[in-house]
Chains A and B, each alone.
Chain A
């Protein structure tokens, strides 16, 4: 179980690295999807409750993602107004 959670946490830190290198909204969306999937996987794995450090790591990655989205060029809304 310890090994499994370590693998999941490694995937989470991979996402952290990729967030730093992310330069487009498209890349960001892929990372966000990966994060959501990983979060669901971790939550399913730790059904009895998330350990505090895992919870902290997840929140940290989420904060990175939100910050990165804000730093990227504003989303073009022209499609939305079609």
Chain B
């Protein structure tokens, strides 16, 4: 068990240090993706014709393997953390845009009409009515983006040891210490599960108005437009 947490010195971090690094490399891109996705999604809701091409673009971007994405960036940003974080931010963005669009669109038209009738302006209506009702869908997207991001950071090991917990894999390989690989896999998976759980908790806190029954149901949009939602919900790790 001692050897399990005995991190080789070439990694220049303790186990907890690697976890901190890993979380930073994984979560900052998700945050950046969310910040960029909100206005983009709003554009797609506003201009309906924009959504189908946007969907095709997100599907294509999401298909590009992470390693290919990383190495192409090396020419611009070098073998740095940023090179890992930019693709992760893009992946988060392309998961979140459809999730937010579907969420905002799932707001019943009569609710919107009622809000307008009560004198809500467009901005106020978006922030106080549409966005809160879209929270479950947005969080569903965030869960996929976060878990996927945490898993993908490890691949950063291949471009100059930028993989945080993933760097343990390299050492496990060259020093023949399988327990380091187990450590990496288990720690990463636990981080992913914990982050996922935290987001579920967040949703419960943000949506006290949802009944237990509807909480478990997927938004209707998922069933109506399977092609849009499924890649976003299913290709988590790559």
A and B held together in a complex: no
Residues on A lying within 8 angstroms of B by beta carbon are none
B interface list, Cβ under 8 A from A: none
